[in-house]
Structure 1
Amino acid sequence: MGEEQHELLEKAKQGTLATIKRSGMPQLSPVTPHYDRAAGTIRISMTEGRAKTANLRRDPRAALSVESADGRAWATAEGPVELIGPDDSPDGPAVQALVDWYRDAAGEHPDWDEYREVMVRDRRILMTMRVQRVYGENLG
């Protein structure tokens, strides 16, 4: 797929994640993705107990759609996903994965100890999609 779609995925601060409900219908959820093009992954922080999390535990496939600010370009990434977490300890591997995600997506947090405690308290999970296909269009 064209360079434009990969650039759109890299710049996206918001997107729509599609997972598959038990009925087979799509579940759409607004998310904050981080695309690591070199690694071929998209990572998203989510919470245990949400529909998208339950759907991905049952059927670990997803698609992420993002749009340009003017709505004239869009990109979709698809692939299998892995979930890590939640952790019961602020020093656990899932919390460390969430720290790494945050650093890559937003930089340094002002209080990592507090962040780690919130990740445990909120039962946060990190979803990693292995991007297998990217497609989209630029109408600009």
Structure 2
Amino acid sequence: MSDEALSRLLQAQQFGVLATVRRSGHPHLSTVLHHWNPEERVVRISTTADRLKVRHLRRDPHVALHVTGPDVWSFAVAEGEAEVSPETTLPGDATGRELLALTTGFEDPAEERAFFEQLVADRRVVIRIPVSRLYGTALDIPGAE
């Protein structure tokens, strides 16, 4: 698949499987909701500060995100060294605004304020993956659906 086709697949799918590295060296897999920015070549994932994947990434930032295509015959993998943002601690802080940018936004300022407050209560962080390698495949199998 071309880089452009891989990027489209990564952007089209909302869910993927994030692989981090356990202390033992074995992979740890988590299903995550992700946001792909093709211009920046960065994947962003919202999670909470107490998650195991966050502890893994703070110790070893090597990561891969596997995204399945519309059928079982296609996939994309984004690899990189992840960064974990500071925990959002004040409604509307930099981490909160980064998380807001991953949504469609709010017309009502009260809803936006409630969103920011919930992020703080949840102890949200952003996992950023600057993608250094993007690969995958799409097999053309006649009759397969």
Letter in 1 for 2:47: M
Q: Could you say which residue in structure 1 is the equivalent of 2:11?
A: 10
Pairwise CA RMSD = 1.3
| Counterpart amino acid of residue 125 in structure 1 | V
- Structure showing greater radius of gyration is 2
Matched, 1:108 2:111: no
The offset of 1:69, in angstroms, is 2.6
Q: Gaps spanning 5+ residues in structure 1: where? A: none
8 Å contact kept, 1:91–1:116: yes
Query: After superposition, where does 1:91-102 map in structure 2 within 5 Å?
Result: 91-102=92-103
Aligned length: 136
Aligned mates of 2:59, 2:106 — CA distance in 1 = 33
Report deviation, 1:85: 2.4
- For residues 109 and 17 of structure 1, do their structure 2 counterparts lie closer, same or farther at Cα, with a shift above 3 Å needed? farther
> Which residues of 2 match residues 40-79 of structure 1 at below 5 A?
40-79=41-80
TM-score using structure 1 length: 0.91
State the alpha-carbon separation in 2 of the partners of residues 12 and 23 from structure 1.
Answer: 31
SS in 1 for 2:126: strand
Q: Secondary structure at the match of 2:10?
A: helix
Tell me which amino acid in the other structure corresponds to 2:71.
D
Taking the aligned partners of 1:82 and 1:129, their CA distance within structure 2 comes to 6
1:24 & 1:18 partners in 2: Cα distance? 11
Q: Residue type of the partner of 1:77?
A: A
Percent of aligned pairs with the same amino acid? 35
Alpha-carbon separation, structure 1, partners of 2:123 and 2:60: 20
Note the residue ranges of structure 2 that are not aligned, 5 or more in a row: 141-145
